[in-house]
C-alpha cells in the first residue's frame, strides 16, 4: 500500500492509499468502459470498497451510475452482485415497492493496473436524503414529506423481502431521491479536480490516478420535485436463509442482536427501519454511538427502560419523547405534524424497535399500520 502522506492531492476524495494492487481502479473523466459503451462523465461518490461514477450509455443514449468495486472484492461470487441478480430474477415488477429499490441494469469486469474490477451499472438517481437535509434550514425534511418517504421505504423493504433478501444496512445515506430532470447532467466544476503528485517530485506508483475528483454536489431549481426515493447499496445484504455472523452498518444503528452477538435474522431490517424512520421525521438519531457499539447498552437501558420486553414500549408509549424531539429547537411554523400524527408515529415505532427480535412486527402488520395508511390518503389529496 502506498503512503498517501507522500502525495499532494488537493481535493477531498477517497483514500489515495487504496490505489494499489487489489484496491481502487484509477478512473479519469472521459474514460471508456465495456468496449466503449460507457463514458465516464463525473464522480457521484465513493466508499471503502468502491467508487461511483456518472456515465453515459452510448448505446441506449441514457445516463447511468456505475459502481466500480475494488479488485480484491471483485471475485465472481461478489455478494452484492448476487443479491442484485436475485432481486432482478425473482422480483415482481408489479409490486408497489419495486420502484423504491435500486435495480441492476448491467454488469461487467474491467482489467486495470490494480487488478480486475467488477462494474455494476445502476439507474442514475439524485442526492442522498442525508445530503439534502444537511442543506435544509432545520436540517430535516418537511414532516409530511418525511412521512411519505417513510412509507416508500417500508414498501421497498417489503419488496426485497418478497425476493428473499435482507438489506442489512438501512440508513439515510442509503436512501436516494429519484429525480425527473436527470437527462441534464450536473454542471461540472474544474475546481473539483485535484492533481495527484509526489511531494518529492518522483513519478507516482503504478495504479495511482493522475488526479482525484471530488464528488458532484447536486443543485436543483425550485421546479424540481424531490418526493420519491429508492433504497440503494446492497453491500451488506444477505439471503434470508443464509445470514452472516455480522454486518457493517453505522454503529448507532446496530440492532440489539448485533450488539449482544446474538444470531442475525431478516428482522435486523425492521429495527433499522424504525431507527431510520425516527431520524427521518425528527431530524435526530434515536441512539448515538461512535466506534464502539457497547456505548449503546446504557442508552438502551436509559432510553428504553430496564425490563427487556418493555424497553422501547415504555419510552414511546405516550409519544412525549417523539414530540419533544420533533418540536424542541424548531420554529413553530415548521411543525407540520400535529400531536395525533406523532402519537401514530410512536405506535408505529413501538412495533419495530423491540429488543427481542422475534417480537418485532412483521411487514404485513406494518403495511396496515395507520402511520402508513393515513399517509396514502394524504398523498391522494396533494
* Integer Cα distance of 147 and 141 in angstroms: 9
Tell me if 155 sits within 8 A of 101, measured CB to CB. Answer: no
Region of residue 80 (phi > 0: left; psi between -120 and 50: alpha; otherwise: beta): alpha
189 is catalytic: no
Looking up cell 461487467 gives 108
C-alpha cell at 86: 436475485
* Integer Cα distance of 63 and 44 in angstroms: 12
* Integer Cα distance of 4 and 51 in angstroms: 18
Phi, psi of 350 (to 5 degrees): -60, -25
* Integer Cα distance of 243 and 239 in angstroms: 6
Tell me if 126 sits within 8 A of 216, measured CB to CB. Answer: no
Q: Where are the alpha helices (DSSP H) in 10-117?
A: 79-90
* Integer Cα distance of 265 and 288 in angstroms: 23
Tell me if 361 sits within 8 A of 140, measured CB to CB. Answer: no
Tell me if 174 sits within 8 A of 274, measured CB to CB. Answer: no
Q: Where are the alpha helices (DSSP H) in the chain?
A: 79-90, 129-133, 143-162, 256-259, 268-282, 296-304, 311-316, 320-327, 339-350, 363-367, 370-381
- Selected catalytic residue, list 42, 158, 169, 375: 169
Cα 155 to chain center, whole Å? Answer: 15
Other Cβ atoms within 10 Å of 206 Cβ, number: 12
Active site residues: 169
Amino acid at each position: 500500500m502506498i503512503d498517501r502522506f507522500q502525495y499532494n492531492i488537493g481535493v477531498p476524495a477517497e483514500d489515495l492509499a487504496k490505489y494499489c494492487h487489489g484496491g481502487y481502479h484509477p478512473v479519469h473523466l472521459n474514460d471508456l468502459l465495456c468496449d466503449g459503451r460507457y463514458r465516464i462523465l463525473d464522480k457521484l461518490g465513493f466508499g471503502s470498497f468502491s467508487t461511483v461514477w456518472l456515465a453515459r450509455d452510448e448505446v441506449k443514449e441514457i445516463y447511468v451510475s456505475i459502481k466500480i468495486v475494488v479488485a480484491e472484492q471483485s471475485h465472481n461470487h461478489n455478494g452484492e452482485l448476487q443479491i442484485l441478480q436475485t432481486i432482478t430474477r425473482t422480483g415482481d415488477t408489479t409490486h408497489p415497492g419495486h420502484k423504491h429499490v435500486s435495480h441492476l441494469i448491467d454488469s461487467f469486469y474491467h482489467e486495470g493496473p490494480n487488478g480486475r474490477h467488477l462494474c455494476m451499472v445502476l439507474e442514475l438517481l439524485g442526492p442522498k436524503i442525508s445530503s439534502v437535509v444537511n442543506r435544509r434550514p432545520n436540517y430535516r425534511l418537511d414532516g409530511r414529506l418525511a412521512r411519505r418517504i417513510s412509507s416508500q421505504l417500508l414498501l421497498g423493504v417489503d419488496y426485497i423481502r418478497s425476493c428473499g433478501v435482507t438489506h442489512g444496512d438501512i440508513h439515510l445515506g442509503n436512501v436516494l431521491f429519484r429525480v425527473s430532470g436527470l437527462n441534464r447532467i450536473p454542471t461540472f466544476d474544474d475546481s473539483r479536480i485535484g492533481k495527484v503528485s509526489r511531494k518529492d517530485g518522483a513519478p507516482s506508483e503504478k495504479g495511482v490516478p493522475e488526479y482525484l475528483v471530488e464528488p458532484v454536489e447536486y443543485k436543483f431549481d425550485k421546479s424540481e420535485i424531490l418526493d420519491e426515493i429508492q433504497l440503494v447499496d446492497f453491500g451488506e445484504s444477505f439471503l434470508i436463509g443464509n445470514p452472516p455472523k455480522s454486518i457493517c452498518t453505522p454503529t448507532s444503528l446496530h440492532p440489539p442482536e448485533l450488539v449482544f452477538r446474538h444470531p442475525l435474522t431478516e428482522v435486523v431490517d425492521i429495527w433499522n427501519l424504525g431507527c431510520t424512520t425516527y431520524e427521518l421525521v425528527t431530524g435526530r438519531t434515536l441512539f448515538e454511538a461512535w466506534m464502539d457499539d457497547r456505548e449503546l447498552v446504557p442508552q438502551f437501558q436509559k432510553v428504553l427502560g430496564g425490563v427487556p420486553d418493555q424497553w422501547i414500549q415504555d419510552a414511546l408509549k405516550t409519544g412525549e419523547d417523539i414530540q419533544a424531539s420533533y418540536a424542541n429547537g424548531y420554529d413553530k411554523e415548521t411543525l407540520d405534524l400535529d400531536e395525533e400524527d406523532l402519537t401514530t408515529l410512536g405506535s408505529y415505532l413501538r412495533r419495530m424497535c423491540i429488543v427481542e427480535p422475534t417480537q418485532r412486527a412483521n411487514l404485513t402488520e406494518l403495511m396496515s399500520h395507520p402511520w402508513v395508511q393515513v399517509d396514502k390518503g394524504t398523498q391522494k389529496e396533494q
